Amino acid sequence: MRKLVVCLLILAGFSCYAQSPLFRGREMRDYGFAFNGHYFWNTAQFVPGTVFFNGILYQNVPVNINAHTQDLLALESEFLTPVVAERALTAWFQIDGIYYMNLRYYGVSDAPEGFFQVLTDGRRTVWMQRRKLFAREPGNHNGLKGIGYDDPNYRENVIAYFYQQDRYYIEKDGAFKRIRPGRARRAAMRPVIPDLDGTPSAAVPRTLSRPPLLKGSSESLPPGWFSTQDPSEERRALLAAIEQENLIASYRNKTYEIGSVGAAARATVSGVVRDVASGEPVQSALVSDSSGKIYCYTDPEGRYELTLPTGDNLLSFREYSMEDMDVHVIVHGSGGLDVVMREKVTALQSAYVTANSMANHRNAGMGLEKINSATITHIPSAFGEGDVLKAVLTLPGVKSVGEASSGFNVRGGSSDQNLILFNGGTIYNPSHLFGIFSAFNTDVVDDIELYKSSIPVQFGGRISSVLDISTRDGNTERIRGSLGLGILTSHLALEGPIVKDKTTFVLGARTTYSDWLLKRLPAVSGYSGGKASFSDVNLGVTHRFDERNTLKVTGYWSRDGFTFRGDTTFRYSNLDVAVKWTRTADSGRTLSVSAGYDRYSNTLDRGYFTDPLGSYSLKTTVNQGFLRAGVKQRRGVHTLSWGGDAVLYGLSPGMLQPTGESLVIQRSLAPEYALEPALYAGDLWQPEGSPFSIEAGLRYSSFLAFKPAKYYAGPELRLSGKYSPLPNLSFKAGINSMNQYIHLISNTSSISPMDTWKLSGADILPQRGWQAAAGAYWTVLGNSVDISVEGYYKRMYNYLDYKSGAVLSMNEHLADDLVRTRGQSYGVEFMLRKQTGRLTGWVSYTWSRSLLQEMQDRGLETINGGAWYNAPHDKPHDVKLVGNYKFTHRYSVSFNLYYSTGRPVTIPVGQYLYGNALRLMYSERNAYRIPDYFRLDLALNIEPGHYLKAFTHMSATLGCYNVTGRRNAYSVFYTTTAGRDVRGYMVSVFATQVPYISLNLKF
Amino acid sequence: MKRLLPILLLFSMSACIYPFDIQKEEGEHMNLVVSGDILIGETSRITLGYVYPVGSPVGAMRKEFPMGTLTLEGDGGFSCKGEYQYRGVYSFDTSTAPANQRYRLNIRLLDGQEYASEWLGVYQAPAVSDLRAEPADNGLQLFISLDGADSLWNFRWDYTETWEYHADFVPVLMFVPGLPDGDNEDPGKIYRERYPEEDYYYCWTSRQSVEPGLASAEGQSGNRIKDRLMMTIPYTDPRISTLYCIDVTASGLSPGGRAYLQHLHDISNNTGSLFSPTPSEMPGNIRCLSDPAQVALGYLNAVQRTTSRLFVPPTYYKRGYDPEALLFYPAPDEDGRYNFDQVFVNDSPVRFSGEAPTRENVAWAPKRCVDCRASGGTKNKPEWWPNSHK
């Protein structure tokens, strides 16, 4: 509630910056709600006044001032209809002998938008602006402050009203500064009658940059002066004058005129879509015309560009977390229109993925899933910490080998086949605390995009998927922050402007107190005395040089460390630094250039006490620098993109250092260096009105390994097409191929802290893969429910598996312990998603298989005799239900249900005596499965109340992870007790209900 | 709150391992298993066995296995035929086998299948540079240090523990219910004096290690290991109550042999954690010559061995219970009988004062308090045992 009001107020303030066209329509303002009082300066009556507009002095014109929007209103002479004067052309006006000046007109750029009275306090000139602010608060219908009404979104009654606020300003040291005079001082102020016949003198501070040339005078407004039917040259000239300025549309159902009248049948409209509250660009908003056939999505900088027919158009702006925005535009020629949208005030924006229900029918790409931070924080999770990866795992086609496991698997791919980008930097280990938490702080995360099928041509380097995560820009208006407290972790975020309207920052940090907790565990727990901790810090600074140039600098650092029993300590750390420059040219061409440095290192300290002569510290490091440049340009029905990127790798596969009195020889494996450059070009062909669209691209990636030199290269195809016989029905198909030159070296089922990475070289071939997919998408029930089915078939080559007893660390001949496999995966994903109403969410069912086969014949040692075998993440049946039911604005319930087939495991099928001990003989690889997985999570979300004046807003989530307390198996294993008896055990990470409470404070 | 948080964490973390039913397989035995080493300078024992379905009773796996002939050959002309002993064990007289030859084991089974090991070089024995016991918080810890020979970088050790212990009390009377009185049985007479040969106060027992100890100095500047923990004996363990002895046998290993044994240990004991490798079968060094599709399990090594012995006195022993608390006074039932057999079988009174044992003057104890054999030991004192206890 408060958030809405704040948005509205800022929305009002934002409109002051509007470079609005002359005519705004006959409907003055659609507030969309009832309110008490009026928004006029002093009286609701129009009174005769004098207006200096566009160099012409109009006298005895019925005028008034809207103090809420700081607009001059005039009654058009013929029809006595109120219209809004273009503020940029209004120098001053006078009502009842009091002069109101538009200081910006006179070049005082640091003055707030609007009109000012000129006063003097006897010593200096003071400018006073009266504002009418809008407020809403809980109350009864007949409250003293105003009338009330029932808002269907709220359980309480609400009073809405305007209240007056006068602001005083002076000029000091060349700057326009606000002062807060006391009551007595205000009473002593007297109006100044400025000399306004061409030379305002003391009424205007500083030098005039725009002298008000008096071109003539009139007693009344001419007929049709503000009318769209006005054919006069004067009006055309006015429109041309403002054509160069981008429009900012901030209200729905208004008409905006764009461009100067010309002969062209079509014109290009472009602009930036921003969040009105924070000023941040709105990414991935769908911008479309009324037919839905002409559309585009905003880029990460919020930019859009459409080619529209000249004349009347209705532009729709849709973004799942923002309120719908419809703007009437009259397109005369090419021009700009910036748009502000306001955030939806809902308890849970659980509907996610696309901008709206129809999005899937407009996009030729397949397999793109989107999720935002608001959704993440409301998906129930263990310990209540909003988790990016756990949210990603609720999507169809995404699996993991078990809960609390690092990494994820997309459509049968292994976890190292996912390119995880965080502000463009690569994250090599995306988890904290063995996989219980993800490495990403949801406080600063913006949109998350997972490409699991049609991977855009600018991405490469992994053969399964791309998870693109970016942090938000900081709030442009004021310093804001949030603080979260959970059972195991806490997090803090701060954001705000550094230089007003130019530079913002966002800072996020998390830490855990599990060390403290582990020390207090009883010895019988087995974890007493252990240590496990993590921290991470995010920093982003965004600077807008101007409307066309933006520079963003981001940094991310994380560290993990843990010790459980014994004297073995694991540590790992991620570091990513990136800088990105985005420039939008006049032609709508967008250029992005980014560069950065990523580092991942892990360290194992072992044996200091238990094996003093053999104790060591083992460290591996992945370093990479990257440079990317890409251009995107719309030309007619084509949207072209081209560019290139290069990644320079420097890997240290192992550095062994003795510790203490150790006899371990210090040694290092030879470092690996390589360069991975790539060029790409793509085109989205999207003819208007056609049910067909095609997106095609070619990426040529290459890889040059140094010492020993080895060169690999190959094309990567990206092709997808769409056919939409009906607006709400579409069919798509696509195929893409990928190459991967860096490999995770691990023989565990999930990513472990000691996993290392290895580059392709003379003895390790690049992984190659392709995927073909097809799907049907149907939107029904008033565009509120999406039904989709997607099928895919994927092949992979040169994926690395391991020989029995392979030694993976400090192995100079590692390739000898590896085997190459080919993989195939296929499946069908059904999904039903509801995005509107009290109940939102989705249910999905996936049937899929993922199989591997060794490519070499090693005789008896060939894995499973050379037959296809189950990949570790092969889970054929997978059902996910994620939902949210909103009782009121403040209270909602989230639920999450997950069922899947148990993952494949290798278990003992035989036992034998060897020496004095009983030993186990294992089955063929992954021939058996652990028990099926089932989990239900529930959470109650309580959003902040409606108290407008509160500085802080507290939200809380009470939940329970694994409500049924099912002991889901992470793995099963067998031991020979005392070497004489075989016993089976099951590891269950969360073997019982895990209640949690999470508190989040925003300020 | 201070108490609540650990409980919450425990709630989710402490009880995360549960028993899981073993998936019992049906069917007969499977692959051939060859275990043992070629021990240069002593008698070698090679055991043949089979892999049985998991869940099979271990006792049923110890079958007689005279199912073929085993011969050991050296590339310098040494040859020795294995003599079948029992339950699949074949012995070879390798006490005079030269250490400078390479050896190969040949197996011919009755069903015609032929197996052979790789040619095996002999690994010299390491020296046990230190074998000692040190007290720690959780018990008495035994450490071993080994020095390798010139080219010996991988080590193995096994051990045999022997310990002497004693009963809690020396009994005066023996409980013998229904002791005959002449030709008649006297139900009321339940005791007699202990004969001299019924001295069950001191016992000795012995057991062998199950898991071999493994260590490697590969990657080190010196081929030795220092202070490797072999085991921890709790202070209340009866093994160190009187006199404890450990005989350690150390030998070298080939790199492949160490990797095989380590892998065998890991897949039998170290699976199931979050970061455990996927278990798999590692090939040994025995091949089936007659049918390459047949896989034999096992890895033979040809080694020399060295031994070392350590005695540990009862310095650190702490009795974990109070034997006095187990004493009780007997009471007859309604029929005047002492039906101790309802509770204790052949239990003995241990304390006697006065001429006739009565309820008040005889304290009784369970057999395990007065008969050391009840704890599994025997009266067979090793010849080399250093004290005079009987």
Query: Contact at 8 Å (CB) between A741 and A674?
Result: yes
Is the complex ipTM higher than 0.90? no
- The alpha carbon of A562 is separated from its chain's Cα centroid by a whole number of angstroms, namely 31
Instruction: Give the tens place of pLDDT for each residue, A269-293.
Output: 888 787 765 667 787 788 888 777 7
Question: If you count them, how many residues does chain B have?
Answer: 390
Rounded percentage of chain A residues whose pLDDT exceeds 70: 78
Residues in B closer than 8 angstroms to A401, CB to CB, are none
Question: If you count them, how many residues does chain A have?
Answer: 1003
The answer as to whether B42 is a domain residue is yes
As a whole number of angstroms, the distance between CA A67 and CA A72 comes to 9
The answer as to whether B35 is a domain residue is yes
Residues within 8 A of B (CB atoms), A 352-411 only = 382, 404-405
Which token pair is A951? 């500085």
As a whole number of angstroms, the distance between CA A414 and CA A407 comes to 9
Residue A5 has pLDDT above 60, yes or no: no
Query: Contact at 8 Å (CB) between A779 and A717?
Result: no
Nearest to B209 among A404, A753, A916 (CB): A916
C-alpha distances in Å from residue A335, one per residue of A212, A271, A308, A586 = 27, 8, 11, 10
Query: Contact at 8 Å (CB) between A90 and A101?
Result: no
Residues within 8 A of A (CB atoms), B 51-90 only = 51-56, 58, 61-62
As a whole number of angstroms, the distance between CA A976 and CA B279 comes to 14
Whether the CB of A521 is below 8 Å from some CB of chain B: the reply is: yes
Domain count, chain B: 1
As a whole number of angstroms, the distance between CA A829 and CA A796 comes to 20
Number of cross-chain residue pairs from A and B with Cβ atoms under 8 Å apart: 240
Instruction: Give the tens place of pLDDT for each residue, A213-235.
Output: 444 555 555 444 433 334 445 44
Domain that holds residue B58: 2-124+251-305
Residue A854 half-sphere exposure toward CB, CA atoms < 13 A = 18
Q: CA-nearest residue of chain B to A970?
A: B274
Query: Higher pLDDT residue, A549 or A211?
Result: A549
pLDDT category at A108 given cuts 50, 70, 90 is confident
Highest average pLDDT, of A750-764, A957-971, B228-242, B261-275, comes from B228-242
Rounded percentage of chain A residues whose pLDDT exceeds 90: 24
Give every CB contact of residue A596 below 8 A, 6+ residues apart in sequence: A423, A424, A425, A576, A577, A578, A579, A625, A626
**Which residue from A135, A88, A94 is spatially nearest to A113, judged by alpha carbons?**
A88
Nearest to B219 among A518, A665, A753 (CB): A665
The answer as to whether B328 is a domain residue is no
Whether the CB of A434 is below 8 Å from some CB of chain B: the reply is: yes
Quick one: average pLDDT of A30-37? 50
Whether the CB of B1 is below 8 Å from some CB of chain A: the reply is: no
Residues within 8 A of B (CB atoms), A 785-824 only = 802, 804-805, 807, 810
Quick one: average pLDDT of A920-926? 88
Residues within 8 A of A (CB atoms), B 203-262 only = 208-212, 215, 217, 219-222, 224-229, 259-260
As a whole number of angstroms, the distance between CA A15 and CA A24 comes to 13
Looking at the complex, report in whole angstroms how far the Cα of residue B22 sits from the nearest Cα belonging to chain A.
5
CA angle at A379 for the pair A376 and A385, rounded to the nearest 5°: 70
Whether the CB of B26 is below 8 Å from some CB of chain A: the reply is: no
C-alpha distances in Å from residue B157, one per residue of A773, A998, B149, B304 = 58, 54, 15, 12
Q: CA-nearest residue of chain B to A659?
A: B220
**Whole-model pTM above 0.90?**
no
Instruction: Give the tens place of pLDDT for each residue, A370-381.
Output: 877 767 777 777
Query: Higher pLDDT residue, A354 or A909?
Result: A909
The answer as to whether B7 is a domain residue is yes
As a whole number of angstroms, the distance between CA A322 and CA A4 comes to 11
Residue A355 has pLDDT above 50, yes or no: no
Query: Contact at 8 Å (CB) between B53 and B26?
Result: yes
Q: CA-nearest residue of chain B to A863?
A: B280
Q: In what order do the strands lie in the sheet with A981-987?
A: A971-977, A981-987, B17-19
The answer as to whether B144 is a domain residue is no
Contact B279 A922 (CB under 8 A): yes
Q: CA-nearest residue of chain B to A962?
A: B12
Each of the 390 residues of chain B gets a pLDDT tens digit; together they read 344 444 444 444 434 777 887 767 677 778 899 999 999 999 999 999 999 988 888 887 877 766 789 999 999 889 999 999 988 899 999 999 999 999 999 999 988 899 999 999 999 999 999 999 999 888 999 999 999 877 788 999 999 999 999 999 888 888 776 655 566 666 566 777 788 888 889 999 999 998 899 998 888 888 888 888 899 999 999 999 999 999 999 999 998 999 999 888 888 776 766 567 778 888 899 999 999 888 899 999 999 999 999 999 999 999 888 888 888 877 777 776 666 655 555 667 777 665 666 667 778 888 888 889 988 899 999 999 999 888
Q: CA-nearest residue of chain A to B17?
A: A987
Bridge-based pairing state of the strands A503-512 and B17-19: unpaired
Residues in B closer than 8 angstroms to A975, CB to CB, are 268-269, 271
**What's the pLDDT at B14?**
39
As a whole number of angstroms, the distance between CA A263 and CA A276 comes to 35
The answer as to whether B50 is a domain residue is yes
Whether the CB of A969 is below 8 Å from some CB of chain B: the reply is: yes
Cis peptide before A708 (omega within 30 of 0): yes
Residues in B closer than 8 angstroms to A971, CB to CB, are 271-272, 276
Contact B51 A911 (CB under 8 A): yes
Longest CA–CA separation in chain B, Å: 82
Contact B272 A521 (CB under 8 A): no
Query: Contact at 8 Å (CB) between B285 and B118?
Result: yes
The answer as to whether B295 is a domain residue is yes
Give every CB contact of residue A947 below 8 A, 6+ residues apart in sequence: A2, A137, A138
Residues in A closer than 8 angstroms to B268, CB to CB, are 917-920, 974-976
C-alpha distances in Å from residue A328, one per residue of A287, A315, A325 = 13, 6, 10
Q: Which amino acid is at A606?
A: R
Contact A916 B297 (CB under 8 A): no
The answer as to whether B293 is a domain residue is yes
